[in-house]
Structures are given as structure tokens and as C-alpha cells.
């Protein structure tokens, strides 16, 4: 029988917390960038200007057809060199976090844009007609009437996607970037307690994601009750 020894965890907590901060940084930046760029992609895809729609459709289909781990790998291989040559950085500057953020953001925007597109399409066409009839331009109708309603309907889906994204950040371990998972792995490897550390990391991921998804569910119920009255 395997002998569990959890003693290396308490001392490693500060290091693990540093890793958690990296995981959260990547998640938050990818969500913010993903929603902004995803909204633009969704609007392009629905725009009457054909080339814009083609570009957005191509982008979304490309990123949705490639495994995330490969996208990240390419970004680790390419982006650091690009950044270094663009900004004349010292070759020793660590740009792994930046490239991870960019990779995730670009990848996630493809998923966010599909959620947002569905959200925009869920707003009845009559709303745009009413806004136009009041003299609003297409941009005003989008900004003041369609998007606020679309986002309110989409919040649960966007948050659920953010939870999945938070779990996926563990993929950066292959660049030896110490996110939460990477940090746990390093500590376990160092102390010969990999099993304990990975069980602990799994429990933390589970706790955070499960709690977050329960909150999303609660919010969704509240939203449905609000719409029903």
C-alpha cells in the first residue's frame, strides 16, 4: 500500500500561490481579450460586408479545428522571437507568460465569438427595426439595444467557458511556465511526492471550478426568473 505523505505541501503553499496567480492572470486576460475580440468577430460575421464575414468565419473555423495544445506550442516557439525582435528585448527576458496569454486569448476568442454570435441572434430582429425607426444608426442600435440584451442572455455561457478556460491553463506546463499545475508538479518532483501534490492540485481545481459553476447556475436561475415575469 502506498504511503501518503502530505508534509511537503504546507511549506510549498507560497510557491503554489504564485502559480495560482499565473493561472488566474492567463484566465482573466484571455476572458477580457476573448470577449472584446470575440464580439468584434461576431459582429464581422453577421455584417453584410462579405469579406469581413469570410474573415471572421475563417478565423473561427481555423482555431476551432486545431487542438489548443498545438496552438500554445506554436506560440511558445514563435511569439517569443517575434516579441524579442519587435521590442529589442534582452534574449534572457522571460516572455513565456506573454506568449501564453496571447495564445489563449486568440484561441478563446474563436469560442467566445460563437457564443456572442448566438447571443446577438437571440435578440429579436424587431428590436433593431425599432431602434432604427427611432433614428439610431446601426452602430447605435448594436451598442445600446442589441448587445446589452445579448450579453445579459450570454453571461452564464461566457462564465462556463471561463471555467473551462481556467482548467485549460494547466496546458502551459509544457512550456515549463510555473502556473498552478506546473508549480504543483515541480514541488512534487523535487520532493518525490508527485502523487500527493497532483491529488492536491486536482482537489483545488475541482473546488474552484465546482464552486464557480454553482454560482453560474444560481445566476442563471435568477436570470430566468427575471425574464419570466
Partner 1 sequence: MISIDNVSKHYGSFQVLTDCTTQVKKGEVIVVCGPSGSGKSTLIKCVNGLEPFQSGAITVDGISVGDPKTNLSKLRSRVGMVFQHFELFPHMSITDNLSIAQEKVLGRSKDEARAKGLKLLERVGLKAHAEKFPGQLSGGQQQRVAIARALCMDPICMLFDEPTSALDPEMINEVLDVMVELAQEGMTMMCVTHEMGFARKVANRVIFMDKGLIVEDDSKDAFFNNPRSERAQQFLAKILQH
Positions touching partner 1 (CB under 8 A) are 124, 126-127, 129-137, 140, 144-145, 148-149, 152, 227, 229
10 or 229, CB closer to partner 1?
Answer: 229
Q: How far apart (Å, rounded) are the C-alpha atoms in residues 159 and 169?
A: 15
Helix (H, G, I), strand (E, B) or coil at 134: coil
| Pick 101 or 154: Cβ nearer partner 1 | 154
Nearer to partner 1, 61 or 137 (CB): 137
- Residue 95 vs 157, nearer CB to partner 1: 157
- Distance CA(172)–CA(174), nearest Å, equals 5
Question: Are residues 66 and 74 in contact, defined by beta-carbon separation less than 8 angstroms?
Answer: no
Tell me how far apart the alpha carbons of residues 121 and 146 are, in angstroms, rounded to a whole number.
9
Residue with cell 464575414: 53
Nearer to partner 1, 16 or 120 (CB): 120
State the cell numbers at 18.
Answer: 504564485
Beta carbon of residue 124, minimum distance to partner 1 (angstroms, whole number): 8
Q: Whole-number minimum distance, CB 31 to partner 1, in Å?
A: 22
Q: How many C-beta atoms surround the C-beta of residue 229 within 10 A? A: 4
Q: Which is nearer to partner 1, 13 or 133 (CB)?
A: 133
> How would you classify residue 30: left for phi > 0, otherwise alpha for psi between -120 and 50, otherwise beta?
alpha
Q: Closest distance between partner 1 and the C-beta of residue 68, in Å?
A: 34
Q: Strand, helix or coil at 6?
A: coil
| Closest CB 148 distance from partner 1, rounded Å | 5
- The distance of closest approach from Cβ of residue 132 to partner 1 in the complex, given in angstroms and rounded to an integer, is 6
Q: Are 64 and 111 in contact (CB under 8 A)?
A: yes
- Least gap, CB of 141 to partner 1 (angstroms): 10
CA dist., res. 153 & res. 49, Å (int): 26
Amino acid at each position: 500500500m502506498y504511503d501518503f505523505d502530505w508534509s511537503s505541501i504546507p511549506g510549498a503553499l507560497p510557491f503554489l500561490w504564485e502559480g495560482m496567480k499565473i493561472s488566474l492572470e492567463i484566465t482573466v486576460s484571455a476572458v477580457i481579450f476573448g470577449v472584446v475580440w470575440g464580439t468584434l468577430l461576431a459582429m464581422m460575421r453577421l455584417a453584410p460586408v462579405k469579406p469581413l464575414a469570410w474573415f471572421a468565419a475563417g478565423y473561427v473555423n481555423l482555431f476551432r479545428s486545431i487542438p489548443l495544445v498545438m496552438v500554445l506550442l506554436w506560440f511558445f516557439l514563435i511569439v517569443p522571437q517575434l516579441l524579442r525582435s519587435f521590442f529589442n528585448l534582452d534574449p534572457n527576458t522571460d516572455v513565456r507568460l506573454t506568449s501564453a496569454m496571447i495564445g489563449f486569448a486568440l484561441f478563446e476568442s474563436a469560442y467566445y465569438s460563437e457564443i456572442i454570435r448566438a447571443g446577438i441572434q437571440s435578440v429579436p430582429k424587431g428590436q433593431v427595426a425599432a431602434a432604427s425607426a427611432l433614428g439610431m444608426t446601426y452602430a447605435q442600435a448594436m451598442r445600446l439595444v442589441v448587445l446589452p440584451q445579448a450579453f445579459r442572455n450570454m453571461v452564464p455561457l461566457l462564465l462556463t467557458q471561463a471555467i473551462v478556460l481556467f482548467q485549460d491553463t494547466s496546458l502551459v506546463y509544457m512550456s515549463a511556465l510555473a502556473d498552478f499545475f506546473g508549480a504543483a508538479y515541480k514541488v512534487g518532483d523535487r520532493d518525490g511526492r508527485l502523487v500527493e501534490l497532483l491529488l492536491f492540485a486536482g482537489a483545488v481545481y475541482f473546488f474552484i471550478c465546482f464552486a464557480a459553476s454553482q454560482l453560474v447556475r444560481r445566476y442563471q436561475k435568477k436570470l430566468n426568473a427575471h425574464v419570466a415575469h
